[in-house]
């Protein structure tokens, strides 16, 4: 497999050509994440749906930490590819894979151990608690599939390959949906069946990505005998990945606090707002795709010192992403009741889900701008900048709001409006930063 160098040719074609398969791939990934909620909500009812939905923030907290390192590894590998340094590329690839394996073991053990404690901290209702614990323990027990898939796909994407990850996600998504129906609707295995289906599909996608890298003909070829930690590349990965990991970790911690606040309104609110988050995940897929494309594009061009392409690529990626997600937000605003009802038709579930969706949907352009700007800064080798902005504008503000306004006015509206408000703050910070950016700022840190 040859690497796809993004340092020459049409900027628009390369960014869109990279982002489109990523978008379709993450669409299928979101499908198999949502399949659990759809099948559980329709076959097992709102309590089981709440049990599955309540886990998202905690899962993202633990797994997201190591996914931040995967992003950092992708930046490092793309830099080496852009600089045409094959030996450093090989060392970075094998360092990243070994780091991912170690992280998988830690997350599996930690997740299984502390799941009940965290759910208690989140004030999970008693009727939801047993199923939520069972779902989480199975999910974390097989988390190696999710973590290693993201590490391996990060290597492929750093080399400019977004087509094969698309194929793997399509296959694993279809398998997950089929297993969900079989285990939950066919065998009556409850939320455990949904968790097992997800774990098996993730392990399949990991195996497919690993097989592709082991057959590669270029410097990204994965060879088990070469697995070792290279000190310089580990330091480079940590420098790029640790701020992203901490950023994701603290944001997810704030989301856990918000989920705890939502839990205080009961299982119907948990189910409805959980459905809203699932729907929102689909709308955010173009942003994920543009973010991945921008990080790879900018990292490779920074490695090749093509600063003119970096600047033009930034403008195109940012404004294209904002335009696309704002249109999707408007569509979702119009059809919110029908979409939420797909998960569960209970009028209260629909009311809660529709309330949050219609509050947030017209502000999607703000979160789109923030996420792509964050990806741009990581590609530029400045991961501390998005960490500071996101921790200040999102985490700190959300936590302060929950412990001040949320204590005085116990209203579900706070759980709705806290997101658009913090998206606006981060967008303003990124816009001010990007307007002052010049050629010298774009040079490697």
CA dist., res. 248 & res. 76, Å (int): 19
For residue range 55-101, list pLDDT tens digits in order: 666 777 777 777 778 888 888 998 888 888 899 999 999 999 999 99
146: tokens are 């999710």
Domain annotation covers residue 294: yes
Largest CA distance in the chain: 62
Angle, in degrees to the nearest 10, between helices 307-341 and 347-360: 160
CA dist., res. 353 & res. 87, Å (int): 51
Q: What is 97-128 written as a DSSP string?
A: HHHHHHHHHHHHHHHHHHHHHHHHHTT--TTT
CA distances from 372 to 14, 27, 443 (A): 16, 18, 19
For residue range 133-154, list pLDDT tens digits in order: 888 899 889 999 989 998 999 8
Domain annotation covers residue 1: no
Q: Give me the chain's average pLDDT, please.
A: 85
- Tell me: pLDDT of 158 over 70: yes
- pLDDT at residue 226, rounded to an integer: 92
SS3 content of the chain, % helix, strand, coil (to 5): 85, 0, 15
CA distances from 232 to 66, 69, 91, 236, 238 (A): 19, 15, 9, 6, 10
Domain annotation covers residue 4: no
For residue range 284-338, list pLDDT tens digits in order: 888 888 898 898 888 888 888 888 888 888 889 898 989 999 999 999 999 999 9
150, 67 Cβ separation under 8 angstroms = yes
Provide, rounded to the nearest whole percent, the portion of the chain with pLDDT above 90.
31
105: domain range?
11-442
How many independent structural domains does the chain possess? 1
Domain annotation covers residue 32: yes
Q: Residue 275: enclosing H or E segment and its boundaries?
A: helix 267-283
- pLDDT at residue 425, rounded to an integer: 95
117: tokens are 């404690």
Q: Which residues contact 357 (CB under 8 A, 6 or more apart)?
A: 276, 279, 280, 332, 333, 336, 339, 340
Least confident of 113-117, 205-209, 281-285: 281-285
- pLDDT at residue 55, rounded to an integer: 65
Q: Which residues contact 200 (CB under 8 A, 6 or more apart)?
A: 142, 175, 176, 179
386, 374 Cβ separation under 8 angstroms = yes
Q: Count of CB atoms within 10 A of residue 431's CB?
A: 14
Domain annotation covers residue 5: no
CA dist., res. 182 & res. 177, Å (int): 9
For residue range 352-379, list pLDDT tens digits in order: 999 999 999 999 999 999 999 998 888 8
* Structure confidence at residue 445 as a pLDDT band (50, 70, 90): very low
| Residue 304 DSSP class | T
Least confident of 35-39, 221-225, 241-245: 35-39
CA distances from 352 to 266, 291, 309, 359, 402 (A): 11, 30, 45, 11, 19
Domain annotation covers residue 43: yes
225: tokens are 């005998």
Highest-pLDDT range among 11-20, 117-126, 205-214, 312-321: 205-214
Domain annotation covers residue 3: no
Q: How far apart are the first and last CA of the chain?
A: 31
**Where is pLDDT greater, at 124 or 37?**
124
Mean pLDDT over 19-44 rounds to 74
pTM of the model: 0.73
Q: Which residues contact 235 (CB under 8 A, 6 or more apart)?
A: none
48, 40 Cβ separation under 8 angstroms = yes
340, 117 Cβ separation under 8 angstroms = no
Domain annotation covers residue 425: yes
């Amino acid at each position: 497999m040859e690497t796809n160098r993004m340092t020459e040719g049409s900027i628009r074609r390369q960014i869109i050509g990279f982002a489109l398969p990523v978008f379709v791939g993450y669409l299928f990934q979101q499908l198999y994440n949502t399949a659990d909620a759809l099948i559980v909500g329709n076959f097992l009812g709102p309590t089981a749906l709440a049990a599955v939905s309540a886990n998202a923030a905690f899962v993202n907290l633990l797994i997201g930490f190591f996914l931040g390192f995967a992003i950092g590894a992708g930046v490092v590998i793309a830099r080496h590819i852009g600089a045409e340094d094959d030996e450093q590329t090989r060392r970075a690839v094998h360092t990243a894979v070994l780091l991912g394996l170690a992280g998988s073991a830690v997350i599996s053990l930690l997740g299984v151990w502390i799941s009940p404690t965290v759910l208690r901290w989140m004030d999970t209702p008693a009727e939801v608690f047993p199923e939520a614990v069972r779902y989480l323990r199975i999910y974390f027990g097989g988390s190696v599939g999710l973590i290693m898939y993201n590490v391996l796909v990060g290597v492929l994407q750093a080399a400019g390959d977004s087509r094969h990850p698309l194929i793997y996600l399509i296959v694993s998504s279809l398998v997950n949906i089929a297993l969900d129906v079989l285990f939950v609707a066919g065998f009556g295995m409850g939320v455990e069946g949904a968790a097992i289906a997800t774990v098996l599909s993730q392990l399949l996608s990991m195996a497919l990505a690993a097989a592709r890298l082991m057959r590669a003909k270029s410097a990204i070829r994965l060879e088990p005998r070469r697995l070792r930690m290279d000190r310089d590349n580990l330091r480079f990965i940590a420098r790029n990945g640790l701020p992203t990991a901490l950023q994701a970790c603290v944001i997810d911690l704030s989301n856990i606090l918000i989920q705890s606040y939502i839990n205080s309104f009961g299982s119907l609110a948990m189910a409805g707002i959980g459905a809203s988050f699932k729907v929102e995940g689909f709308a955010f897929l173009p942003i994920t795709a543009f973010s991945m494309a921008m990080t790879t594009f900018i990292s490779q061009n920074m490695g090749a010192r093509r600063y003119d392409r970096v600047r033009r690529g930034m403008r195109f990626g940012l404004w294209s992403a904002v335009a696309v997600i704002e249109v999707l937000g408007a569509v979702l605003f119009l059809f919110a009741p029908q979409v939420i009802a797909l998960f569960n038709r209970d009028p209260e579930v629909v009311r809660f889900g529709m309330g949050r969706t219609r509050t947030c949907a017209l502000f999607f352009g703000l979160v789109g701008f923030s996420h792509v700007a964050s990806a741009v800064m990581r590609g530029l080798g400045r991961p501390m900048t998005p960490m500071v902005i996101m921790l200040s504008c999102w985490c700190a503000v959300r936590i302060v709001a929950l412990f001040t306004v949320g204590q005085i006015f116990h209203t579900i509206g706070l759980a709705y409006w806290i997101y658009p408000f913090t998206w606006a703050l981060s967008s303003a910070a990124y816009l001010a930063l990007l307007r002052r950016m010049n050629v010298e700022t774009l040079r490697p840190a």
